[in-house]
Amino acid sequence: MVHNGIIENWRELAEQLRTEGHTFVSDTDTEVIAHLVERELSGGCSLAAAVRATLREVRGAFALAVMCAGEPGTIVAGRRVSPLIIGMGDGESGEGLLASDIPALLGRTRRFWVLDDDQVVVLRPGSMLVTTLQGKEVEPKELHVDWDLEAAEKGGYPDFMGKEIHEQPRAIADTLLGRLLADGTVELDEFRITDDELRHVDKVFVVACGSSYHAGMVAKYAIERLARLRTEIDIASEFRYRDPVLDDRTLVVGVSQSGETIDTLQAMREARQWDAKIMVISNVVDSSMAREADGVLYTRAGPEVGVAATKTHLTQVVALELLALYLAQLRGFAEPADARVLFADLARLPELVERALAPGRDAEVAEIAGKFADTRDFFFLGRHVGFPVALEGALKLKEISYLRAEGYPAGELKHGPIALIVPGTVVVGVATRTHLWEKMMGNVAEVRARGATVVLVANEGDEETAAQADEVLWVPRTHPLFAPVIDVVPLQLLAYHIARAHGHDVDRPRNLAKTVTVE
């Protein structure tokens, strides 16, 4: 048996099973399921009936698959909350496949179905039968997947993360395609929320986890600045337990590349209870969140295999910028003169990210990374939209290099963290030209004065910034609101090269799952 999730009533079930004579070899919720299935099988029923009966007894979140020696060639699987995708190989003896998400199966088949909550599937070579927990047959929902196999291969790169970082210009161009129109307006497809409903909105909550949360932070700056609409950003696992004030004039935007992260999914369900309008920014067509939301805006990054989010993060920022522009278009731009410049700059992002990734630039970052191969502690600082960039840069380094990396808003440094700056501490600052550049440089001076080694992300040709740095990560300049899309690129590369210098598997960092389907 394979189980992903948490069975909440496992202790009471285990207690009962022990009194019936079952002997446990572990202290896990998963083992309880195996014993329950065994109990049903010993009553003489089929494996499918045994799994259905078991799932009627358990509470919690699970995706599980069960096989038994008495029924070779059969896999019975079921789910509640945690996602489960079914794949079928071609031909009569086609293999049955199960996984949490599509990229895991892309190399094996192009035919996918999704299992809904409290459904059970029986897979045999070439056949599949989906039923409810009561055994009633149901039609499985086929998934439309236009990702190709090539997208799930390394294509000459040593790892998926490297390939996915370099796919970012294409991913951004695809995400903008057909949405940023030549006449300088934004059109959002698959949106399913009417313009009138959006005009009715008086507050936006963005909820997400990890890198998606950092993308969401950028939305707060963009929506408030462009559309003058109150916007809050929340970590999904906090949002649902803190009694947020929501009503039918609230728009809740879930940001999740997988569309399956349990914290974000449950936060959206919580918001639904308050009659809020729900939309999701997801990279996976027909993901659980996409199916449940009122509106969906797909990032078109293609499958992301590396555990560390790169191209999905950048395209989330782009999608959120599109949403901000769309809301501003509907409600009137706070500063109408802005619109034309913004549209032109947004359209140029693929080209600018390409420049940030040019072979020469990549080699420069690799060289800088080599100098910090022995450094154990990093500070990442930024202000305004540079703050989420700093957080994302720090997260990338933590995830794949296992090094301590703290992201801070630079202005907050003097309120405590500056105590940690000593000669040789490495500080990575986002110092591209925004209206807070001077203030940021003031913070850089504070850490330099305490002997920090300073690495700055700076705009190409900005020698004034470079003069204050020990090392420079050069990036092209864009509108400050879009700078997070470009400025994070050298930080992804820095984390990538440092991790590789340490000999780590950047695609499969320890302790991490690509999609977090447990609370």
Binding site for ligand AGP (CB under 6 A): 209-212, 256-258, 261, 264, 307-309, 399, 515-516
Closer residue to ligand AGP, CB minimum distance, 103 or 169: 103
Distances (CA, A) of 95 to 88, 127, 406: 6, 9, 46
Kindly state the smallest distance separating residue 308's Cβ from ligand AGP, in Å.
4
Closest CA to 180 of 34, 75, 329: 329
- The helix (run of H) or strand (run of E) holding residue 215 is helix 210-227
Structure tokens at 489: 């690129």
Kindly state the smallest distance separating residue 37's Cβ from ligand AGP, in Å.
30
CA pair distance 445, 196, nearest whole angstrom: 49
Closer residue to ligand AGP, CB minimum distance, 250 or 299: 299
Closer residue to ligand AGP, CB minimum distance, 168 or 515: 515
Kindly state the smallest distance separating residue 88's Cβ from ligand AGP, in Å.
25
Would you say 174 and 300 are in contact if contact means Cβ atoms under 8 Å apart?
Answer: yes
Would you say 122 and 76 are in contact if contact means Cβ atoms under 8 Å apart?
Answer: yes
Kindly state the smallest distance separating residue 264's Cβ from ligand AGP, in Å.
5
Classify residue 357 as left (phi > 0), alpha (psi -120 to 50) or beta. Answer: alpha
Closer residue to ligand AGP, CB minimum distance, 50 or 268: 268
Kindly state the smallest distance separating residue 254's Cβ from ligand AGP, in Å.
8
Q: Please give the backbone phi and psi of residue 142, each rounded to the nearest 5 degrees, phi first.
A: -75, 145
Structure tokens at 317: 């920022």
Kindly state the smallest distance separating residue 217's Cβ from ligand AGP, in Å.
13
Kindly state the smallest distance separating residue 106's Cβ from ligand AGP, in Å.
17
Kindly state the smallest distance separating residue 54's Cβ from ligand AGP, in Å.
29
Q: DSSP assignment of 418-463, as one string?
A: GGG--TT-EEEEE--SSTTHHHHHHHHHHHHHTT-EEEEEEETT-H
Closest CA to 305 of 155, 104, 494, 512: 104
Structure tokens at 58: 């358990």
Kindly state the smallest distance separating residue 306's Cβ from ligand AGP, in Å.
8
CA 141 to the chain's CA centroid = 24
Chain position whose Cβ is nearest to ligand AGP: 210
The amino acid sitting at 497 is: H
SS3 410: helix
CA pair distance 74, 125, nearest whole angstrom: 8
Q: Please give the backbone phi and psi of residue 342, each rounded to the nearest 5 degrees, phi first.
A: -60, -45
Closer residue to ligand AGP, CB minimum distance, 308 or 385: 308
The residues with which 234 forms a beta bridge, in sequence order, are 207
The amino acid sitting at 492 is: Q
Closer residue to ligand AGP, CB minimum distance, 32 or 218: 218
CA pair distance 265, 186, nearest whole angstrom: 27
Closer residue to ligand AGP, CB minimum distance, 474 or 496: 496
Whole-number CA gyration radius for the chain: 25
Kindly state the smallest distance separating residue 212's Cβ from ligand AGP, in Å.
4
Closer residue to ligand AGP, CB minimum distance, 39 or 79: 79
Closest CA to 206 of 108, 278, 289, 286: 278
Would you say 478 and 489 are in contact if contact means Cβ atoms under 8 Å apart?
Answer: no
Closer residue to ligand AGP, CB minimum distance, 454 or 491: 491
Kindly state the smallest distance separating residue 362's Cβ from ligand AGP, in Å.
20
Kindly state the smallest distance separating residue 310's Cβ from ligand AGP, in Å.
8
Would you say 392 and 313 are in contact if contact means Cβ atoms under 8 Å apart?
Answer: yes
CA pair distance 257, 315, nearest whole angstrom: 9
